[in-house]
């Protein structure tokens, strides 16, 4: 099976959008400010974006607060063509733990992570449909640690289910990840050293102990 180049698919959509008089709206699920940095710089040229911060996986609560405040700060400081709005979803951690039940011992990057992708993207698709957005997508594909193929497959399935267009992406392409590091340094963004959930937190602690 041929591997899909989701960056090229995104460029096709952008090309179509630039031919329209109206600027399309995009609900962008964001996992954190650093991952949103290049994504917002790039997409805000072509879309009216609302950042949707829905990450019930993040542990502990103080870490959640730190990340959400950093997201808000970055949005206010980034110069953009079209103003960016912000919506914070519920921090319903119990929903995440119910989803992860039975998969607690799985390594990062496996089925538990895929279910977490779906949890967050589903919430984005539901809100995009409810509020009448033209598109929805996520910043998650910018990370070299995240499975862009799986994320796009989930997005495509949710597009069919909810009837709102999923914007294809692989934001790490075109040096997107490198640019996110540059922007993080430029704006002094807090860059966390674990994905966010309690399981990745313990993995990070284990790595730190091994390096001592």
**Residue indicated by tokens 């090309």:** 15
Q: Is 35 annotated as a binding residue?
A: no
Residue 173 and residue 58 in contact, taking contact as beta carbons nearer than 8 Å: no
Is residue 116 annotated as involved in ligand binding? yes
At 162, list the tokens. Answer: 């909810």
17 is in an annotated binding site: no
Helix (H) or strand (E) holding 124: helix 111-131
> Per the structure block, which two tokens stand in for 144?
């070299």
Whether the CA torsion 191, 195, 200, 203 is positive or negative: it is: negative
Cα–Cα distance measured from residue 52 to residue 73, given in angstroms and rounded to the nearest whole number: 14
Report the DSSP beta bridge partners of residue 138.
29
- Determine the Cα–Cα distance for residues 115 and 171; give it in Å rounded to an integer: 21
Binding-site sequence positions: 31-32, 113, 116
Binding-site sequence positions for [4Fe-4S] cluster: 31-32, 113, 116
């Amino acid at each position: 099976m041929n591997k899909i180049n989701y960056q090229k698919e995104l460029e096709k959509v952008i090309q179509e959008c630039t031919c329209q008089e109206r600027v399309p709206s995009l609900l962008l699920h964001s996992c954190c400010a650093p991952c949103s940095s290049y994504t917002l710089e790039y997409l805000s040229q072509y879309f009216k974006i609302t950042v949707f911060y829905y990450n019930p996986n993040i542990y502990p609560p103080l870490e959640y607060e730190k990340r959400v405040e950093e997201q808000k700060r970055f949005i206010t400081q980034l110069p953009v063509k079209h103003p960016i709005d912000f919506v914070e979803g519920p921090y319903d951690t119990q929903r995440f733990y119910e989803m992860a039940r039975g998969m607690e011992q799985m390594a990062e990057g496996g089925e538990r992570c895929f279910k977490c992708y779906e949890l967050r993207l589903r919430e984005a698709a539901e809100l995009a449909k409810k509020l009448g957005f033209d598109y929805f997508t996520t910043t998650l594909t910018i990370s070299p640690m995240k499975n862009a193929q799986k994320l796009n497959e989930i997005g495509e399935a949710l597009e069919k289910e909810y009837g709102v267009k999923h914007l294809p992406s692989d934001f790490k392409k075109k040096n997107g990840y490198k640019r996110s590091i540059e922007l993080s340094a430029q704006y002094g963004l807090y860059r966390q050293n674990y994905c966010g959930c309690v399981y990745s937190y313990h993995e990070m602690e284990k790595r730190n102990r091994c390096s001592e």
